[in-house]
Structure 1
Amino acid sequence: MTQIPVAIRLDKSKTVLHLDYEQAQFSLNAEYLRVYSPSAEVRGHGVGQEVLQVGKRAVRIIGVEAVGNYALKLVFSDGHDSGLYDWAYLHELAQTEADKWQQYLQRLTAAGASRDA
């Protein structure tokens, strides 16, 4: 069963998206959402084609748009707006944030890259 948030709020700083579910609440950082965008630009067009996102520490969410009854389109301050975060993917990101964030930091370190622009 797909978890659909009962409330979605963007904080005033535009750096945290709050998702309220019936049984839990999550606060997801804009940088985390940006580097795990479901877009082809980030994910590539197949396994092993993912593109490491660097320099996204200061990114903000400047728009949140509902897409039908199945997803959100997030518009980021760096101009990225092509990923559709369906409810299942958003819930997965929320539940696995700690592990995914550590994986991202490890990939940055391995690439000699930075979160800063």
Structure 2
Amino acid sequence: MSRAWPTRLEFSKSRKMLTIAFDDGQTGDIAFETLRTESPSAEVQGHSPAQKKIVMGKQDVGIVAANPVGRYAVQIVFDDGHDSGLFTWEYLRELAGLG
């Protein structure tokens, strides 16, 4: 498991994309829709893989805030009111396809 530290989180409203850069030189993009539909919240993920919910119709979702949580994660607040997922740096790396 990588321990790379994020050096930049850039939320582009026009592209509906989060660009995240890490101190190991890797950079990746994550669509806002992916962030919303893959939210690590219990509301989306359930309490086991069998309980994961498919979230549809979020292609136009926006982000209204991103709040740091300690040194390990960010809470993303979506314009549809969803705000209960804590996105760890490792999970964001995974969503960006950086492993």
Find the structure with the greater CA-based Rg. Answer: 1
Q: What are the superposed Cα offsets for residues 19-45 of structure 1, whole Å, 9 maximum, x if unpaired?
A: 011322112110011100000000001
Greater strand content: 2
| TM-score with structure 2 setting the length | 0.89
The correspondence of residues 24-43 of structure 1 with structure 2, limited to 5 A, is 24-43=26-45
Query: 1:9 is matched with which residue?
Result: 10
Report percent identity of matched pairs: 41
Runs of 4+ more than 4 Å apart? none
- Note the residue ranges of structure 2 that are not aligned, 5 or more in a row: none
Partner secondary structure for residue 75 of structure 2: strand
Partner secondary structure for residue 95 of structure 1: coil
- Note the residue ranges of structure 1 that are not aligned, 5 or more in a row: 97-117
Structure 1 window deviating more from structure 2 (11-20 vs 62-71): it is: 11-20
Q: 2:76 aligns with which of 74, 78, 96?
A: 74
Greater helix content: 1
Query: 1:58 is matched with which residue?
Result: 60
Rounded Cα–Cα distance in structure 2 between residues aligned with 1:11 and 1:70: 22
Partner secondary structure for residue 20 of structure 2: strand
| TM-score with structure 1 setting the length | 0.76
Aligned length: 97
